[in-house]
Amino acid sequence: MKVTTIKECLDEKDSQGGEIVAAKVNGRPVDLNTPLTKDSKIEGISIHSPEGLEILRHSTSHLMAQAVKELYPEVRITIGPSIAEGFYYDFDYSRPFTPEDLAKIEEKMRALAKEDIPIIRREMSKGDAIKLFDKMGETYKTEIIRELPEEAVSLYQQGNFTDLCRGPHLPSTAGVRSFKLLSTAGAYWRGDEKNKMLQRIYGTAFPTEAELDNYLNKLEEIKKRDHRKLGRELDLFSIQDEIGAGLILWHPKGALIRKSIEDFWREEHLRHDYDLLYTPHVARLDLWKTSGHTEFYQANMYSPIEVEGQDFQLKPMNCPFHIMIYKTKIHSYRDLPIRWAELGTVYRYERSGVLHGLLRVRGFTQDDAHIFCRPDQLEKEITSILDFTVDILKTFGFDRYDIYLSTRPEKFVGSMENWEKATTALCKALEMKGLAYQIDPGEGVFYGPKIDIKIKDVLDRAWQCTTIQVDFNLPERFSLSYVGEDGVPHQPIMIHRALMGSLERFFGILVEHYAGAFPLWLSPVQVRVLPITEKQNEYAGEVKTLLSREGIRVKVDSRSEKIGYKIREAQMEKVPYMFVVGGREAESRSVSVRMRKDGDIGTMPLASAIEKVKKEILIYQSTK
RNA sequence: GCCCUUGUAGCUCAGUCGGUUAGAGCACCUCCUUGGUAAGGAGGAGGUCACCGGUUCGAUUCCGGUCAAGGGCUCCA
């Protein structure tokens, strides 16, 4: 047999029965039916590898475009990449696609896949490609081609559908297997709101039906855990029209959880040599002029409030207040570092379309802190913050992260030397802690480099919470100084940092992370005492008093309902411990313990039950 | 902000092709029941059908606008 393509070459070496979807030649991904050239190092790309999955999804996206073009010939195609959890394709069409359209498109896709249409790559000059797409009326494609730097472009053809694409792709439409179209959305051409709104269709694809089902189940699970749904069901918080969009009302149970978080946060900060501050919610506009917010942050600020001829500004950040406290006296180099923390509530204007439950709001409380230090202290401070962050996050059950280091952007303040030093300090701190990170080149804030930490929840979703930012700008603007060993003033470096980010968002993430079943130390009601009949109400009251005395949050359900009903309700409210007390328990001063997760664990003396609960509450502190 | 979808009781949802008193389940209140590990029974109360305007003899229903929510685009804690 004469070997002429990559596919045949790979087939000869070892066959994985259709599991190979593309190949790498000298490390470059190519189609399987690429003609073979000599001296090439060839590797197969399995459909089960991340690269293979991406190719599968990309080809599925093309198959969708082909189906759409066949069903709605007047549609113009734009772009259709694979994304983290699937793919999308943006179409220019006179109307949005309906769920019925999606069903039809899906059906068409299955038919086209069954036809086993070969997917063929062609290369041609830009000029020829433009002519070709021009003839088809695909103006978006010609626009893309004109902007490509290469001389030649590659096209992929399947049946009478041709798309501009770098590839690689599956060898045939038959390779597209388990997929589902999920939703439609408006999306601007090239993400720019000045451009035309296109019709986007999202979908996902997997190598096997089982993996697709698994993913669809995960979507269901995400829906069940939605903090907006659980927030209402568990009576944690609300957002109301009469109050305003993006403004949160914390109900008693939510407030109690927040209090536990705040108490923990304050204790930990004091333990880590931070001091606590409180600052006002508004300040004279001039302060924000000095800080530069009126210049750089205007788009996110509310309009000033005029009082007695003076303008006041609702605060979008806490930093200027902390700085003004720093400026109330002269500091020696011996005073540094100064670490000041505040649970500071700020208000930022967010466009109405982006608001989302607790995760994106207009008024929120940052777990903010500002550290004023000498340049030689920077690295050590960053290291301690990283340690502190990991500890705090671990307490809430987060121990997997994605860490990003953002470096100097094009527009920046401060000297190149300082940037260099600060960036090196951030890198070194991360490396010393053995934390893996990615570099986001040019993504730093104009005033300094930063580290962002995204936590991963139980469903593997990443959430940006922690941010650690070095700032050269504000110390300059506010002329901050400390007196050095040499007796002359020097400029301190400022670090802004938030570990949880905002209490609102963090709480929303926690609700989803725990699916509303908060660990004991955070549960608003830790124990609910359930008397079997009204005859045990008195004993239940005694049990309650004893638990309260130990600092345990406890309620009694003394309603005239059957025990099954009371249990069902406590279970749905996700109360961690139920103490069932009937005649037998009252007689022997014991309780029948039922746990949220494990159910009935039997009767035990009251004192042992209290000890058990106390011990479990303390567990979170020993994780440090 | 923009595109699409949605807005009926505290919650989940029926319903009205424009026509007297708009329904259900859960939750709530009262009474009966005193029951041993996920729903005992009966009765009752609860709605300006998001808001404003228009068409009409008549609008919760049709039309327009506003507000809000949801899915995205963009941005971010």
Note the ipTM here.
0.90
Measured CA to CA in angstroms, residue A104 lies from A159, A206, A610 at distances of 19, 20, 61
**Which of A129-143, A270-284, A370-384 has the lowest average pLDDT?**
A129-143
> Which has the higher per-residue pLDDT, A462 or A530?
A530
- Quick one: how far is CA A460 from the chain centroid? 10
The pLDDT, as a whole number, for residue A149 is: 83
Tokens 């001063």 label which residue?
A: A589
Residue ranges and CATH numbers for the domains of chain A are 4-46 (no CATH), 50-224 (3.30.980.10), 233-513 (3.30.930.10), 527-623 (3.40.50.800)
Distance in Å from B52's C1' to A357's CA comes to 27
Asked if omega into A81 is within 30° of 0 (cis), the reply is no
The pLDDT, as a whole number, for residue A327 is: 95
A3 and A9 Cβ atoms separated by less than 8 Å = yes
Nucleotide nearest to A240 (CA to C1'): B68
Q: What is the mean pLDDT of residues A376-405?
A: 93
Q: What is the mean pLDDT of residues A59-85?
A: 90
To the nearest whole number, what is the mean pLDDT of chain A?
A: 89
Task: Give the other-Cβ count within 10 Å of A549's Cβ.
Answer: 9
Strand partners, A403: A453
Q: What is the mean pLDDT of residues A8-18?
A: 57
- Catalytic residue numbers of A read 319, 348, 366, 368, 370, 450, 496
Nucleotides of B under 7 A from a protein CB: 1-5, 11-12, 32-40, 67-77
| pLDDT(A284) > 50 | yes
A456 burial type by CB count under 10 A (0-12 exposed, 13-18 middle, 19+ buried): middle
Distance in Å from B70's C1' to A188's CA comes to 19
Task: Give the other-Cβ count within 10 Å of A296's Cβ.
Answer: 14
- Give the pLDDT confidence of A197-207 residue by residue, as tens digits: 888 999 999 99
- Give the pLDDT confidence of A97-154 residue by residue, as tens digits: 877 788 889 889 999 999 999 998 888 888 889 999 988 888 899 988 888 888 888 8
- Give the pLDDT confidence of A214-245 residue by residue, as tens digits: 888 888 888 889 999 999 999 999 988 778 88
The strand ranges marked E within A508-548 are 527-531
Structure tokens at A470: 């070095």
The pLDDT, as a whole number, for residue A151 is: 83
Confidence of residue A8 (pLDDT cuts 50, 70, 90): low
- Whole-model pTM? 0.89
The pLDDT, as a whole number, for residue A411 is: 79
- Quick one: how far is CA A424 from the chain centroid? 27
Nucleotide nearest to A353 (CA to C1'): B1
- Quick one: how far is CA A559 from the chain centroid? 42
Distance in Å from B10's C1' to A235's CA comes to 11
- Among residues A484, A259, A237, which one has the least CA distance to residue A376? A484
Tell me how far apart the alpha carbons of residues A30 and A459 are, in angstroms, rounded to a whole number: 33
Distance in Å from B74's C1' to A186's CA comes to 12
Nucleotide nearest to A364 (CA to C1'): B77
> Which has the higher per-residue pLDDT, A11 or A373?
A373
The pLDDT, as a whole number, for residue A218 is: 86
3-state helix, strand, coil in chain A (%, to 5): 40, 30, 30
The phi and psi torsions of A357 (rounded to 5 degrees) equal 45, -130
The pLDDT, as a whole number, for residue A572 is: 93
The pLDDT, as a whole number, for residue A317 is: 93
- Give the pLDDT confidence of A495-537 residue by residue, as tens digits: 999 999 999 999 999 999 999 999 999 999 999 999 999 999 9
The pLDDT, as a whole number, for residue A624 is: 43
- Give the pLDDT confidence of A470-494 residue by residue, as tens digits: 988 899 899 999 999 999 999 999 9
Distance in Å from B36's C1' to A597's CA comes to 19
| pLDDT(A1) > 60 | no
Q: What is the mean pLDDT of residues A576-600?
A: 95
Nucleotide nearest to A581 (CA to C1'): B36
The pLDDT, as a whole number, for residue A237 is: 93
| pLDDT(A44) > 60 | yes
**Which of A56-65, A156-165, A190-199, A590-599 has the lowest average pLDDT?**
A190-199
Question: Percentage of chain A surpassing pLDDT 90?
Answer: 55
The pLDDT, as a whole number, for residue A297 is: 86
